[in-house]
Amino acid sequence: MSKVLVTGGLGYIGSHTAVELLARGHQVVIADNLANTRAEVLDGIESISGVRPEWENVDLADQAACAEFLAKHQDLNGIIHFAAHKAVGESVDQPLDYYHNNLGSLVNLLQFAKQKPDCAFIFSSSCTVYGQADDLPIREDAPIKPAESPYGNTKQIGEEIIRDGAKAHGFKAIALRYFNPVGAHPSAKIGELPLGVPQNLVPFITQSAAGLRGALKVFGNDYDTLDGTCVRDYIHVVDVAKAHILAMERLVAGRVEEPVEVFNLGTGTGSTVVQVLNAFTEATGVELKWEFAGRRAGDVVAAFADTKKASEALGWRAELLLTQSMADAWRWQQALASRAGSSS
């Protein structure tokens, strides 16, 4: 059993990863300042796993607060770092907040990793590091293009910081470049929980279907794609979570082949926005109201993953289909509505 810190562990991917870690018998400590989630997510994790992880409300971008927190957990075997602002559009409007939060927290955590080189470090990266790739599907050795958004830039710079730190200080790390995580835990006890207006497509779909939002806006219908809308690789969040456990166990077992390894996490299949809307209706029977709008700053045209490297090195592949993701996301939205109704 390893003791693992999950930063942003009450967030979307972090909470699902905490559940998978607990299922494998690991001890989980969560650091989360509730910037884009709620404390009751901890109840969902406990309900699924039967274990209530230790949680502390701490801002990891605050150097003193981060150091004080880590001083209490000198026996960590691994850190999985999710805590970050993550909305492309918002990052264009608030770039300085994104640089401060996303890079400040990373540097503070790596100061700990520098002193504990045997502590496995996993970085939540993103396909945004590729910018608009020349070739599809995208391989890990694809050229890193100028980022299309400050959010994407924080992931590019973050990976560079980790490489420089590993080279200088001897720790090992894995960066997992997610494509587009969607869905929710099949129990409907945890899922994506955006505060305010959702910045990601699927929670906006489910909130719109539930009558909480107006007609959904599809940004751009004049791209060079099947139907003119952007193409993304939508992967079930449970599949993403499972990859983190395999990556951490690879690091702990000393099987890494270089100081910093990078893996894509996707399905290998691209879907347009319109195809996602249709998949939701197919999975749920709910018709959506949507309309086209102008292009959104920071969006790339198309991105989907080549996942051969993750399959061969980690023994991982995505198993759940897009329709399953949509069904689970809708079940989660209905569970939220049920909770809201019972508490009113």
Tokens of 87: 């909305």
Where on the phi/psi map is residue 202: left (φ > 0), alpha (ψ -120 to 50), or beta? alpha
265: closest CA among 180, 324, 323, 326?
180
On whether the CB atoms of residues 139 and 127 are closer than 8 A, the answer is no
Task: Give CA angle at 332 (326, 334), nearest 5°.
Answer: 105
On whether the CB atoms of residues 185 and 261 are closer than 8 A, the answer is no
pTM of the model: 0.95
DSSP secondary structure of 280-312: HHHHH-PPPPEEEE---TT--SB--B--HHHHH
| Coil/strand/helix, residue 88 | helix
On whether the CB atoms of residues 271 and 279 are closer than 8 A, the answer is yes
Quote the CA–CA distance of 202 and 58 in Å, as a whole number.
28
On whether the CB atoms of residues 215 and 253 are closer than 8 A, the answer is no
Quote the CA–CA distance of 164 and 93 in Å, as a whole number.
29
- The pLDDT, as a whole number, for residue 145 is 87
- The pLDDT, as a whole number, for residue 321 is 97
Quote the CA–CA distance of 161 and 172 in Å, as a whole number.
13
Quote the CA–CA distance of 48 and 44 in Å, as a whole number.
6
40 Cβ contact list (under 8 Å, min separation 6): none
Exactly one of 98, 151, 223, 234 is catalytic; which is it?
151
Quote the CA–CA distance of 37 and 142 in Å, as a whole number.
33
Q: Where are the domains of the chain?
A: 3-184+234-266
- The pLDDT, as a whole number, for residue 55 is 98
Quote the CA–CA distance of 100 and 103 in Å, as a whole number.
6
- The pLDDT, as a whole number, for residue 250 is 96
Tokens of 297: 């700053």
Task: Give CA angle at 39 (37, 40), nearest 5°.
Answer: 105
| Coil/strand/helix, residue 178 | strand
CATH number of 3-184+234-266: 3.40.50.720
**Does residue 151 have an active-site annotation?**
yes
pLDDT along the chain (344 residues), means of 10: 95 98 97 95 98 98 98 97 90 96 98 95 94 93 90 95 97 96 98 87 96 94 97 98 96 95 98 98 97 89 96 98 98 92 62
